[in-house]
Chain A
Amino acid sequence: MDQRIGLKTENLSIGYGKKVLLSGVELEVRPGAVLTLIGPNGSGKSTLLKTFTRQLKSLGGKVLFLEFDKNPDGGESAIQNMDEMSGGEIAKMLSMVMTERPTPELMTCREVVGTGRYPYVGPMGILGAEDWQKVDEAMKSVSADEVADKSFYEISDGQRQRVMLARALCQEPKVLVLDEPTSYLDMRYKLDILENIRSLSKKLGIAVVMSLHELDLAMKVSDRIACVDGTCISKIGTPEEIFSGDYVQKLYGIEQETFHPLTGEIFLRSKKEFPKVFVIGGAGVGLPVYYCLQREEIPFAAGILFENDVEMGAARALASRVISVPAFHPMDDKALEEAKKVLDQCEQAICPLQEFGPLNEANRALRDYARAKGILCEDN
């Protein structure tokens, strides 16, 4: 890459018609970096991306192409305003993959990818040998070469998305815009597409802007994340900055416990009434029991857990009551007494935990206490 070009917006306002949806948008995507937009449905992620691809007119402010120096922390220069460029000029700078898949008739995948060469070919739109070579290279780079001669209708959604990505690449963009590139895809293709986006962006120095609904993936694939909340970009930062505290839960308007910012896990809501069952768990063995009880809508208590236990997120989200002790501290008598008190009020106790050691000796005592009371369910 001789030119390292990224995208920048200055005080951009966007929306449909005359109604402003987002205003004061200040974003910057550097070459080789991935910026992900997250936010609830209808918050304006797609609208923003559609403004970048000029499907919508901006309602104020500027979208600029910036030339960045080779040094990633270096300065920027040679500003080109998108509003002052022709369609053809922009086409050589920016390409896209939209959520809606096109439905071209009688086109092979190779021909679909070939349309990416459009801005570079002559007035009759005939691709030369060099163009076809670039088409094949692009297909190979996303491992879509095996479907090249198949009809675009014949292939699966995942392969179709690969083909659309190849098409966008073969347009040789400096900036790549993707609207929910993982929608409709199974796990394998979700990973595949995101890995491709990530590695190609680094390799070719493409600035990537995309929207994602999978927060756990957004956390892992993005260099920076921008939160879109329906009126403005409410927060921009590295994934670590965004996924700490309860910011994301507020953004999506969900209860704090139902999303675990560190792992990206989401939990369904459970009945948090007076606990009927006590689960003695730890180190993950309790998780299937929690999920089962949540599905059956049986309120339960969990304990005794270390604060840093893998089960802690799920227990906080699902259990009516959690008895915990600070991480790396032995479970003391105080916790045991508290747990016994809760257990006394439960109709049943379940102990999926099989391993006990010096630190969680209290859990063994708790199990024996339940057994003595005759409420321990022995065969899970």
Chain B
Amino acid sequence: MKERMERKVFIWILFFAGCLCALVALIFWNVTSGSMSVSGKEILGILTGQVKEGAAYQILWNIRLPRICAAFFLGGALAVSGFLLQTFFSNPIAGPYVLGISSGAKLVVAITMILFLSKGFRVSSFGMMAAAFLGSIIAMAFILLVSLRVQKMSLLIVCGIMIGYICSAVTELLVTFADDSNIVNLHHWSMGSLSGMSWDKVKFMTFMVLLTCIVTFFLSKPIGAYQLGEAYARNMGVNVRLLRILLILLSSLLSACVTAFAGPISFVGIAVPHLVKLMVRTAKPILLIPGCFLCGAIVTLLCDGIARTLFAPTEVSISSVTAVLLAPVVILMMIRKGAAKR
């Protein structure tokens, strides 16, 4: 028994060490790759603050580094949000995208964009964030209402997908009657992209994501109890109602944050928790939450790197990369799980 325990701990240490290595490698790759090559010496100079001007400084400090930070935090946020939703619905394919949260966010963002731009205002990043957040909460609230009425959680996923379709339809409708200049922006946004990050945005998202993730981490204990089901969680003294509200709030906050800054990014939220569970062979939230965050960051950095460099200088939308890379992973995982249960 003890040996098994030690082996497990060894696997966990190995996992986190591997994550850190991958993270460092990916950051290095993302810093160096691009249309302009930057030498290692220059990078070191810029990072230590000795070089403060020149094209290399501009590209690295104002474009690549904020983008890397955004990929790191938003990717982590997506994965943690997916983990929370999967725990809450005890459904393996729950995620911000599948449950229509992203579509809800998109609809409200579209309305805001078109409304504000037609009156001549520019929508600030905070405004976008607020709109996306509002959209996710509305979609989530709807899902929650349905979840109170139906017992079968699989029905909920169907509802989420339907909500997604409705929101998309309304968005399309709005787009049809909007000015062309507005549509370009919206279209660009809805593709999902990590380009155009500034340090201001990064600061804001870092604050939001870190705060939410830390709160989530400290909810490890009740989340762990919730994995045995609501009845047992309550019997263990968990305030189930409060936990539900918190889980929804936190996951919505996280996915709203991502949608606001980078547009909808699919599949990271669904696939990463499965990948992490497969690797660490445990369901302990205390390990899974940081694990998901790190892995989400890694996957997003990888996908963003590919999106940038695959057809350089043209950029591919990040969602197409995540979908192609991660959708097969989700399918494989479902098949494996189906086989294991029997």
Contact = CB atoms under 8 A, between A and B. Distances in A.
Interface string A362-375: 00000000000000
Interface string A79-98: 00000001111111011101
B237 interface: yes
Contacts of B283: 104-107
Nearest to A149: B4
B341 A118 contact: no
Nearest to A86: B237
B234 A53 contact: yes
Contacts of A184: none
Interface stretch (B40-48, B128-136, B216-224): B216-224
B149 to A, nearest CB: 13
B218 A104 contact: no
Q: How large is the interface on B (under 10, 10 to 19, 20 to 34, 35 or more residues)?
A: 20 to 34
A88 B236 CA distance: 7
A115 B4 contact: no
A53 B228 contact: no
Contacts of A91: 235-237
A125 interface: yes
Contacts of A116: 236
A54 interface: yes
Contact of B227 (A55, A100, A104, A126): A104
Given A124-B221, A148-B1, A87 B232 contact: no
Nearest to A91: B237
Contacts of A121: 221
Interface residues of A, number: 38
Interface in B226-260: 227-232, 234-239
A40 B76 CA distance: 52
A74 to B, nearest CB: 29
A112 B229 CA distance: 12
Given A53-B231, A106-B277, A115-B225, A126 B237 contact: no
Contacts of B125: none
B62 interface: no
A95 B236 CA distance: 8
A222 interface: no
B180 to A, nearest CB: 49
Nearest to B232: A102
Contact of A98 (B232, B277, B340): B232
A98 B231 contact: yes
B228 A104 contact: yes
Contacts of A89: 237
A115 B228 contact: yes
B1 A100 contact: no
Interface in B1-39: 1, 4
A55 B218 CA distance: 25
Contacts of A115: 224-225, 228, 232, 236
Interface in A50-89: 50, 53-55, 86-89
A55 B234 contact: yes
A302 to B, nearest CB: 49
Interface string A104-136: 111100111001101101011110000000000
A356 interface: no
A153 interface: yes
A118 B234 contact: no
A171 interface: yes
A21 B235 CA distance: 23
Contact of A54 (B90, B220, B234): B234
B203 interface: no
Contact of B235 (A94, A103, A106): A94
Nearest to B218: A123
A266 B229 CA distance: 36
Interface string B283-303: 110100000000000000000
A174 to B, nearest CB: 14
A50 to B, nearest CB: 8
A88 B340 contact: no
A107 B284 CA distance: 8
B282 interface: yes
Contacts of B229: 100, 102-103
Contacts of B234: 53-55, 87
Contact of A90 (B237, B281, B284): B237
A87 B284 CA distance: 22
Contact of A88 (B4, B90, B232, B237): B237
A91 B234 CA distance: 8
A118 B220 contact: no
A124 B220 contact: yes
A126 B237 CA distance: 16
A149 B1 contact: yes
A125 B237 contact: no
Nearest to B86: A105
A118 B282 contact: no
A106 B278 CA distance: 9
B225 to A, nearest CB: 5
Contact of A106 (B90, B225, B231, B281): B281
Contacts of B284: 111
Contacts of A148: 1
A86 B56 CA distance: 61
B235 A53 contact: yes
Given A87-B239, A106-B281, A153 B232 contact: no
Contacts of B340: 153
23 contacts: A50-B231, A53-B231, A55-B230, A87-B234, A89-B237, A91-B236, A96-B235, A98-B232, A100-B229, A105-B227, A105-B283, A111-B284, A115-B228, A116-B236, A118-B221, A118-B238, A119-B236, A121-B221, A125-B220, A125-B221, A125-B286, A149-B1, A149-B4
Interface of B: 1, 4, 90, 218, 220-221, 224-225, 227-232, 234-239, 277, 281-284, 286, 340-341
Q: Which 9 A-B pairs have the closest CB atoms?
A: A125-B221, A91-B237, A88-B237, A87-B237, A118-B236, A102-B228, A106-B283, A102-B229, A105-B283
Given A102-B227, A104-B283, 9 more contacts: A53-B234, A54-B234, A105-B227, A115-B236, A118-B236, A118-B237, A124-B221, A125-B220, A126-B286
